[in-house]
A and B are shown apart, each in its own frame.
Chain A
Amino acid sequence: MEAMNPTTPSGCLCEDVDPILDRYGRDQGLLVSILQDIQEKYRYLPKEALERVSAALDVPMAQVYAVATFFKAFSLKPRGRHVVQVCMGTACHVRGAPLIRDKLERDLGVKNGETAADLSVTLESVNCVGACALGPVVVLDDEVQGHVTLTKVDALVKKVRS
């Protein structure tokens, strides 16, 4: 059970979360915003940070955890420095997204939905990024790459590796 939550690569201390909590006035109603900021800071939600949030906002840990697991944008496992999202929506799918995903899995050495052991990159599939006309679409660190081909994947992998 405990192995699910390895110690944080960034060495998260409870106090690091306090400025974020203060920015939102420790308002219970802003729990999601607070979690978003923590996720931005550590690229995931460390257990220690959630415990700190729970104590500071006086929201039960079970409830904080429920919120953190409900939204797909939150991750409870450490994520890579780069995040590669392959769109698997209908439009991208019919235009060859599975091939793109397979090549990314091979070239990055990471399985879909997983993070490299050295935390360099996370590969995940998403179900539509709303840019169907550009399909197949890959989102590299929040930047949308349209009309992705297998040769374009090489350039993307190079970008991740650099």
Chain B
Amino acid sequence: MDDAKTITITINGKQVQTTEGRYLLEVCRENGVDIPTLCHHEAVSPAGACRLCAVEVGDGKGRSRIVASCIYPCWDGMVVETESPRAVGVRRLVLETLLARAPKVPVIRDLARRYGIRRPRFPLENHQCILCGLCVRVCSEVVGVHALSMQGRGAEKECGTPYLSGESTCIGCGACVYVCPTECIHMEDRDGVRTIWHEDAGVKTSVRQFKLKYCKVCGAPLGPEYQLEYIRKKVGLPEDFHDLCPGCRATGRRVAATT
């Protein structure tokens, strides 16, 4: 970018050079300032869903406000306080509500303990999913399959495949399982079948089974058939490409070259 302006911002009293418009969270982390997050992942666009990355941003003249740093673009001369009483207070409140919603999730318990929250003053629920939408973003932005979405709204908001059914465009890649911060999406490979499901408050939804494919020569697991087919079509690979694992394919090439 040619028109990107270099600016100076102050983070916790330290002057830092950066580019105008970059998101504050990134800049803070690059400069060794730790801000807790749950819904953030560098591979996908930020959403500002969990609100844990709240920091105080001022103009240096006494005016300041709380912003979600993951979706807040930097501007010249801004003064950022990540550990001010006000910022920490907001983060504590956010954690208190998250802990009330999902009291059994380890990552939330750890964060709550770090912020000195023992017991939320709100009634305890039994969720695992915190509706951060990270799985939805990974599925559409990284994988490009668009199998997941947030559905409904308000208190009835849910996360899953359309109609929460196993019938969807899902290819069984497990990217959502990998990124889910609260580990409420589960994956199990057993007897040649991969099962993926979303589990919240004891209810399993979007349950789907995938047949796994194995190397024809050595029998090494390759992945779910749907996923391999998706990759094959996207990259334009030959139809028998996924019959062999990478090792056996290389061996086959060597054998073919020597004979």
Contacts and interface: CB of A to CB of B under 8 A. Distances in A.
Contacts of A47: 163
A2 B150 contact: no
Q: Which of A1, A2, A64 has the most CB of B within 10 A?
A: A1
A80 to B, nearest CB: 22
A61 interface: yes
A62 B163 contact: no
A4 B164 CA distance: 10
Interface in B31-78: none
B147 A70 contact: no
A133 interface: no
Given A47-B163, A60-B149, A62-B140, 7 more contacts: A60-B140, A62-B148, A62-B168, A63-B146, A65-B151, A65-B163, A66-B151
B166 interface: yes
The 6 A-B residue pairs whose C-beta atoms are closest, nearest first, are A60-B146, A62-B149, A65-B162, A66-B149, A69-B151, A1-B165
* Majority SS at the chain A contact face: helix
A112 to B, nearest CB: 16
Interface residue range, chain A: 10 to 19
B205 to A, nearest CB: 8
Interface in B123-174: 136, 139-140, 146-153, 161-166, 168-169
A1 B168 contact: no
Contact of A66 (B139, B150, B169): B150
Contact of A63 (B149, B163, B165, B166): B149
A4 B163 contact: yes
A90 interface: no
A2 B162 CA distance: 11
Contacts, number: 44
Contacts of B150: 66
Interface of B: 136, 139-140, 146-153, 161-166, 168-169
B165 A2 contact: yes
A70 B169 contact: no
Given A60-B140, A62-B147, A70 B165 contact: no
A5 B151 contact: no
A105 to B, nearest CB: 22
A61 B162 contact: yes
A130 B169 CA distance: 42
Contacts of A63: 146, 149
A74 B140 CA distance: 24
A75 B152 CA distance: 11
A142 to B, nearest CB: 24
Nearest to A59: B146
Nearest to B170: A62
A69 B156 CA distance: 10
A5 B136 CA distance: 23
Contacts of A61: 146, 162, 168-169
B206 to A, nearest CB: 9
B203 to A, nearest CB: 12
16 contacts: A1-B165, A2-B165, A4-B163, A5-B163, A50-B162, A60-B140, A60-B169, A61-B168, A62-B147, A62-B149, A62-B161, A62-B168, A63-B149, A65-B162, A66-B150, A69-B151
Interface in A1-33: 1-2, 4-5
Interface in A91-147: none
Nearest to A5: B163
Contacts of A4: 163
Contacts of B168: 61-62
Interface in A25-68: 47, 50, 60-66
